[in-house]
Structure 1
Amino acid sequence: MIAAMVFAAGLGTRMRPLTCDRPKALVRVAGRALIDHALDQVAGADPIVVNAHHFAPLLAGHLASRDVKVLHENPLLETGGGLRNALPHLGAGPVLTMNSDSAWTGPRARDTLLAAWDGDRMEGLMLMVPPARAVGRGGQRFRMDADGRLAPDDAGLIATGVGIFRTEGLLADPRQVFSLRDLWFDMLDRGRLHGVEHPGRWADVGSPDAIAPAEAMLAATP
């Protein structure tokens, strides 16, 4: 079993005007809220924590019937600070973290990550997708060596915003507001950040014009 944290506290600036009356996590793709697509990918994790800020009561209401802990984050802490803030609810072990603005085909992200996770040699494991199976603008890129270790590479695999991370480094950081990427690059420097390839397709749904391509990707899945 592993704990999971889904990040849903952002202001949704790139998703305006759809986020003028709701959080980005409640924007619908293929008839379902983005947060529901995300929770599908971490299903089976326990506990599951979702942070909220922009229209937080709407998100909490949407999730009221789910076995999910919603943390109203105020002020915003970014991803690193948000994860550290949630640790009392997540426990001391590794945590599966996930952004809430993506759509997926193929196996559940949780299953792929847990099958590859090795806490003895990894401090972080990120789920990667080749550019040919990605839809939308994508994120940070890395190359992966034969042992799965990652290094930055602008022509490499795309980080999907999902991973498993040990959290000891968060507790040592004196800042309150910081990005989880800071933790990634500390792990990179020490050769402790690894990757595993997602065998399906992935869509970045960060803006209104990204919704139709994501829905087309989902519709094309047998």
Structure 2
Amino acid sequence: MPNKPSLMLFGAGFGTRMGDLTKTTPKPLISVAGKPLVDHAIEIAHEAKIENIAINTHYLAEQIQDHFLGTGIKVVHEVPTILETGGGLKNALSILGNDSVITMNTDAVWRGNNPINELLSHWKPNKMDALLLLCDPSRTHGHQGGDFTLDDHGVISRGGPFVYSGLQIIKTDALSQIQQTAFSISKLWDIFKQSGTLRGHVYSGKWCDVGHPEGINIAERMLAK
């Protein structure tokens, strides 16, 4: 893919599942295996040669702003209220552009092939409006329950064993159909589901949810193996 899409990192959340750990530190800056969670995502992006990267902020935004000073990563602060994932993406389009965008949560770590490269290698924009990177439960750590079912053609439906990893590539033009300011990215998925263009791919490596305190130790053990 000669022109890599822009990347939107979601970093605005309050991190309530982390309890006391996020009282004074935003979740993206919590340390896992010796470096902030968000830096794990940034390393993956740089390895995949993604050039245009933005992160949204709201809670304890100044700390994230300071963390990225001088890096070239663009920080989009959401005020006065948080915009959720869909609203955050829509709010950042002036930076990301109106083409397909990769979005990535910042509360997970990965082991195996570069997940962005794997996602892009299965992206078929002539057939898809969104491609979600899913995880097989047997390769998922620190997480219980599933999100999607996947058929033989890669079409996904709500409910089922496969876990959404928080990484996807998605077309943004349908955002103009949504009038709300704050909304979930799942509103776009619902639009694409109706047209049969919502697809999934199961990641070949391992993935760990670090959205809760126990996830830190689980992630560090997974990375150390």
Structure 2 Cα separation of the partners of residues 137 and 196 of structure 1: 19
Which residue in 2 is equivalent to 1:6? 9
Which runs of no fewer than 5 residues in structure 1 stay unpaired? none
Displacement of 1:42: 2.3
Structure 2 Cα separation of the partners of residues 41 and 185 of structure 1: 28
CA distance 1:140–1:73, change in 2 (3 Å) = farther
1:181 counterpart letter in structure 2: S
Query: Does structure 1 residue 115 correspond to structure 2 residue 121?
Result: yes
Structure 1 Cα separation of the partners of residues 145 and 102 of structure 2: 18
Question: 1:101-158: CA deviations, max 9, x gaps?
Answer: 001001112101111111111000000110000011257521222221111233x211
Asked if the contact 2:137–2:146 (Cα under 8 Å) also holds between the matched residues in 1, the reply is no
Asked if the contact 1:106–1:199 (Cα under 8 Å) also holds between the matched residues in 2, the reply is yes
User: 1:18 is paired with a residue of what secondary structure?
Assistant: helix
2:173 counterpart letter in structure 1: E
Which runs of no fewer than 5 residues in structure 2 stay unpaired? none
Displacement of 1:210: 1.4
Which residue in 2 is equivalent to 1:92? 98
Asked if the contact 1:49–1:68 (Cα under 8 Å) also holds between the matched residues in 2, the reply is yes
Structure 2 Cα separation of the partners of residues 194 and 112 of structure 1: 14
Asked if the contact 2:142–2:214 (Cα under 8 Å) also holds between the matched residues in 1, the reply is no
TM-score, normalization by structure 2: 0.93
Aligned pairs, number = 219
Once the two structures are overlaid, the 10-residue window that deviates more, 185-194 or 6-15, is 185-194
Asked if the contact 1:42–1:109 (Cα under 8 Å) also holds between the matched residues in 2, the reply is no
Which residue in 1 is equivalent to 2:179? 174
CA distance 1:127–1:146, change in 2 (3 Å) = same
Q: Percent identity?
A: 38
1:219 counterpart letter in structure 2: A
Task: Quote the RMSD (CA, aligned, Å).
Answer: 1.3
Question: 1:171-222: CA deviations, max 9, x gaps?
Answer: 22010010001211221222111111211100001111211111111111xx
Query: Does structure 1 residue 216 correspond to structure 2 residue 221?
Result: yes
Which residue in 2 is equivalent to 1:58? 63
Which residue in 2 is equivalent to 1:105? 111
Displacement of 1:41: 2.5
Asked if the contact 2:85–2:183 (Cα under 8 Å) also holds between the matched residues in 1, the reply is yes
Query: Does structure 1 residue 38 correspond to structure 2 residue 18?
Result: no
Question: 1:40-80: CA deviations, max 9, x gaps?
Answer: 23222231100011111111111113221011111200000
Structure 1 Cα separation of the partners of residues 146 and 131 of structure 2: 14
